[in-house]
Structure 1
Amino acid sequence: MNTSQQEALQNDPRNLPERLADAGRELLATAAGLDDDALAAPSVLPGWSRGFVLAHVEGVCRAMTRQLEYAARGETVDFYDDGSDGRNRDIERRAQRATEEQLHSLTDAVSTAVAVFAGVTGSEWTTRISYRDGTVRDGALALWRELVIHASDLGLRRTSLDWDNAFCHYLFEFLEARIPAGTAIKLQPLGEQPRTLLSGSGTPARTVVVTGLLQDIAAWLAGRQPLGGLNATAAADGVDLPELLPWPSAMAPRG
């Protein structure tokens, strides 16, 4: 089975409810037991406390649940009320709550979203939603990203080195949109087959080879610090890692 076939199997919609359930449990277990000081402490994301990260995750879960509720009625609804301004206000508001209230509400939001996706079957995966003008499957993949990445953003027991291989390979696919025009990036995860990412068509003017652990390459593509370090070369010479384009989402630039 080649890499493309493996990724198609890994990201089959029938596998997504289990992946969401696992990711939800991991995030909630990571956040469990946080006290006021720990929640107010800085997260891995610049300028965001752990409370802000969890408030954001809660908001995404509630927004995605609403997407599916409307989709079941054959309707669509904006992901966030009042767009990015509404999103930011809700994060601020949620992050100011008492710790017990915030963790309880987070648990409710994550559990509800996971349960809603667990009930999706058959052609329902292709039902349209407003999020990124996509489908219910796209929404599940987005929630998977949010739960896995932000669990490591808390800077507690989980890091990007805990991301499983299936998730890392999925990020390669999704984050190819971050590759700048005219550049091909040949990813060489240690012990795995290389893969070249290229945004757009035409012959690239430059090819950069990025070598390192699979999880470190995925973390770099996701805008996180590679914990084990990466090596970049172009025409056999050492170079800096390329500057990547913004995260491919207008509504959630932090991931």
Structure 2
Amino acid sequence: MTEISTEQLMDRLGAAADALSRKVATMGDDDIRTATELPGWTRGHVLAHVSNVAGAVGRQAEYALRGETIEFYDGGQGGRTQAIEMAAGHSAAEHKANLEAGLQRVLPVLAGLSDEQWKLPISYRDGDIYGGGLALWRELVIHLADLNVGRGPETWSKEFCLYLISFLADRVPADTRLKLLPLGLEPMTLGVGENTVSVQGMLTDMAAWLAGRTPTMGSLRAEAAADSVELPTLLPWPSALPK
């Protein structure tokens, strides 16, 4: 797909942040405690994670502007898990405040970057600030869907789905060539394995499946050698930390 410009990325981040904030603003304490489809996670866990990611991406950019790099989370994977568990049980008001704080840390610093500063190195995935911005976009959009508040994968834009499918291509097993046949769109091929599996259906369902989420439209059909088969088992999410 065509690379998203930094201006477009900021627009997408602003829209995703606004959509998430609007939904969270309607939640009460009982809503926060509701379980999600993510194993062992309530909405509180999801919101704690997203707030932490927003703050972490902001921190990555702040340090990069000083010519330094720093861990995405203090304490790495263990620190990530501990921070989520500690904050998951907070009240709705606390989650709203934490989310706002995270977004207010990251969005202004990203908005103030020059074209060259977007290319500054950060520790996340040994990449640059631009890659951190894309990670935040993924987190905001996907985890809003995880909250199950009427903004599921069926609402994901074509642009986001195509980007996400490209990012998640590494989830295709080494022995598999995945031929995606989204309705009304050009075919896409992921992977280089000898076993070809064709998957047809809605683009949003394909993106959801590759992201480990339930395809809400139920449209996916898989074939191999002209026979119906189960969807392939995917490899782990290709990420250093956030999921």
So what's the TM-score if we normalise by structure 2? 0.96
Determine if the alignment matches structure 1 residue 13 to structure 2 residue 6: yes
Determine if the alignment matches structure 1 residue 223 to structure 2 residue 212: yes
One of 41, 49, 53 as aligned partner of 1:56: 49
Match of 1:238, SS state, is: strand
CA distance in 1, matches of 2:34, 2:48: 14
CA distance in 1, matches of 2:104, 2:210: 28
Match of 1:215, SS state, is: helix
Deviations 1:191-223 (A, max 9, x none): 000000115xxxx22111110101000000000
Deviations 1:75-129 (A, max 9, x none): 1001011111111111111122222122112122123312221112211111100
Letter in 2 for 1:97: H
Determine if the alignment matches structure 1 residue 246 to structure 2 residue 236: yes
CA distance in 2, matches of 1:136, 1:235: 43
- Which position in structure 1 is the counterpart of 2:190? 197
Match of 2:137, SS state, is: helix
- Equivalent positions of 1:1-255 (< 5 A) are 4=1, 7-8=2-3, 11-198=4-191, 204-229=193-218, 230-252=220-242, 255=243
Match of 1:122, SS state, is: coil
More displaced 10-residue stretch of structure 1: 32-41 or 114-123: 114-123
Match of 1:184, SS state, is: strand
CA distance in 1, matches of 2:19, 2:139: 12
Match of 1:211, SS state, is: strand
Q: Which runs of 5+ in 2 are unaligned?
A: none
Deviations 1:18-59 (A, max 9, x none): 110011011111211211111000123121000100000001
Q: Which runs of 5+ in 1 are unaligned?
A: none
Whether the 8 Å contact between 2:33 and 2:89 is mirrored in structure 1 is no
Letter in 1 for 2:62: E
Match of 2:68, SS state, is: coil
Match of 2:116, SS state, is: helix
Aligned-CA RMSD value: 1.1
CA distance in 1, matches of 2:105, 2:26: 20
Whether the 8 Å contact between 2:20 and 2:144 is mirrored in structure 1 is yes
So what's the TM-score if we normalise by structure 1? 0.92
Paired residues, number: 242
Whether the 8 Å contact between 2:69 and 2:122 is mirrored in structure 1 is yes
CA distance in 2, matches of 1:81, 1:18: 29
CA distance in 2, matches of 1:159, 1:225: 9
Following TM superposition, by how much is the alpha carbon of 1:251 offset from its aligned partner in structure 2, in angstroms?
A: 1.6
Whether the 8 Å contact between 2:200 and 2:221 is mirrored in structure 1 is yes
Letter in 1 for 2:208: A
CA distance in 2, matches of 1:238, 1:120: 50
Deviations 1:227-250 (A, max 9, x none): 122100011110000000000013
Deviations 1:56-81 (A, max 9, x none): 00010111110000000011001011
CA distance in 1, matches of 2:23, 2:181: 31
CA distance in 2, matches of 1:240, 1:60: 34
